[in-house]
Amino acid sequence: MKHWAQNGLRALTSACALSMMATVAWSQSLTWLGTLGGSQSWAYGVSDNAVVIGVAQNVAGQWRAFRWTAEDGMQDLGTLGGGHSAAWGVSADGAVVVGRAHDAAGYERAFRWENGVMQDLGTLGGRESFASGVSADGAVVVGGAINAAGYYRAFRWTASGGMQDLGTLGGSSGWALGVSADGTVVVGGAQNAAGRWRAFRRQNGVMQDLGTLGGNWSEASGVSADGAVLVGGAWNASGQERAFRWQNGVMQDLGALSTNPSTARDVSADGTVVVGWAHNAAWQERAFRWTASGGMEDLNITYAHLLTNGSVLFWATAISPDGRYIVGYGRNAATGRLEAFLLDTGPRCTTHNGDVDANGCVDDADLLAVLFAIGNSGSNLGRVDVNCDEVVDDADLLIVLFHFRNGC
């Protein structure tokens, strides 16, 4: 009788585990976005509602800014009269896109696109500019523009104020690469008085040098919604580039996938999830995701079940504000092309009362699901992480037990 009961428990546990794994697999997906008729595409931004922006080749081999949705596919956003364009930033709702485009004279200009209209944002007195980031509501645009003296300078643009030169750290050049959700904090890279490039954070008219990891170079490329957390790349004392996360005056080395270089490109709105790329031990570029609990993980390993026929995720360039969607570029083995990708990692954790399978009843199936997952950790555990602390442990089990039979 005891043997029968143990076998029955094992069977039930296995069935529950399979059910949970099926739920996780169902909520995750990898979509290759194709091209505009050419041979390559790259994704550089993604909104909370999975609108993806980037650059793709058309049938004539021209690079064009695109906006992609699941409903309409990849849309060519056009140019400012020239042959090429690229999209580098998108608002939280996907309605506003910013980037660079050639005008009729062949010069590169920062643009803001909305409702089918591409607007030239001008320059700071020179001939060229580019836009690289936009606030959550699409009202504030940041990037780099050449001034009358011929130097690139970081800028902040609004419809009412136009393009504002944000200055440097004492040197001649700089550019902005990211902006907080409300548009008040701008981040990027600028030269100091010694001509060294340094990551900066600018707020209330003050540009702060974030330092390095011991080397002579750094650059910030992403910022959290409140402007408190910055990510990017910096040289360490050995002159090797490493991904960093900066908060409260401290620049943290996020490590690497081996002893080789890494760089961070973007961070979720709450500042907890960082994405970028790193070289593995074989010096192959691989997309990564970093969290405090899980460290730096190779997305090709974490989501191996979504990669078929030898497809590879090379770079992760952006993450949606809510942390669910990751975009970048890789090799789509099915087409043999370098293509933009959209990785849906599934809904981020939401605390609940122990109803793991969300059927309205806290019962044996929920209890067994948590028991089977005890000891697992990471940012993508799903509902078995009942209290959302990125580890399945006794605390999650106690919540299920406390609410056991509720709703049944």
Where is average pLDDT lowest: 40-44, 311-315, 325-329, 389-393? 389-393
How much of the chain exceeds pLDDT 70, in percent? 93
- Predicted confidence at residue 188, as pLDDT, reads 98
Full-model pTM: 0.85
Q: pLDDT at residue 198 above 70?
A: yes
Residues 88-117, mean pLDDT to the nearest whole number? 98
- Predicted confidence at residue 65, as pLDDT, reads 98
Angle among Cα 141, 146, 148 to the nearest 5 degrees reads 125
Q: pLDDT at residue 22 above 60?
A: no
- Predicted confidence at residue 6, as pLDDT, reads 35
* Tens of pLDDT, residues 144-189: 999 999 999 999 999 999 999 999 999 999 999 999 999 999 999 9
- Predicted confidence at residue 382, as pLDDT, reads 79
Higher per-residue pLDDT: 13 or 239: 239
Q: pLDDT at residue 378 above 80?
A: no
- Predicted confidence at residue 31, as pLDDT, reads 98
* 396 phi/psi in degrees, rounded to 5: -65, -40
- Predicted confidence at residue 278, as pLDDT, reads 97
- Taking a C-beta distance cutoff of 8 angstroms, is the pair 317, 33 a contact? no
Partner residues linked to 100 by β-bridges: 86, 110
Higher per-residue pLDDT: 154 or 360: 154
| pLDDT band at residue 14 under the 50/70/90 scheme | very low
- Predicted confidence at residue 293, as pLDDT, reads 86
| pLDDT band at residue 361 under the 50/70/90 scheme | very high
Task: Please name the amino acid found at residue 38.
Answer: G
* 255 phi/psi in degrees, rounded to 5: 85, -155
| pLDDT band at residue 349 under the 50/70/90 scheme | confident
Residues 61-73, mean pLDDT to the nearest whole number? 97
State the Cα–Cα distance between residues 327 and 42, nearest whole angstrom. Answer: 9
Listing DSSP states for 181-249 in one string gives TTS--EEEEEEETTS-EEEEEEETTEEEE---BEEEEEEEEEE-TTS-EEEEEEEETTS-EEEEEEETT
- Predicted confidence at residue 260, as pLDDT, reads 87
CB atoms within 10 A of CB 249: 8
Residues 392-401, mean pLDDT to the nearest whole number? 95
| pLDDT band at residue 5 under the 50/70/90 scheme | very low
- Predicted confidence at residue 10, as pLDDT, reads 38
- Predicted confidence at residue 351, as pLDDT, reads 87
| pLDDT band at residue 259 under the 50/70/90 scheme | confident
Partner residues linked to 238 by β-bridges: none
Which tokens belong to 103?
Answer: 């005008």
For 30-344, CATH gives 2.120.10.30
Output the CA torsion sign for 23, 330, 218, 269.
Answer: negative
Domain spans of the chain, in order of start: 2-24+351-402, 30-344
The per-residue pLDDT of the chain, averaged, comes to: 92
Q: Residue 116, by phi and psi: left (phi above 0), alpha (psi -120 to 50) or beta? A: left
Q: pLDDT at residue 356 above 60?
A: yes
Residues 115-134, mean pLDDT to the nearest whole number? 98
Listing DSSP states for 291-351 in one string gives ETTTEEEEHHHHTGGG--TT-EEEEEEEE-TTS-EEEEEEEETTTTEEEEEEEE--PPP--
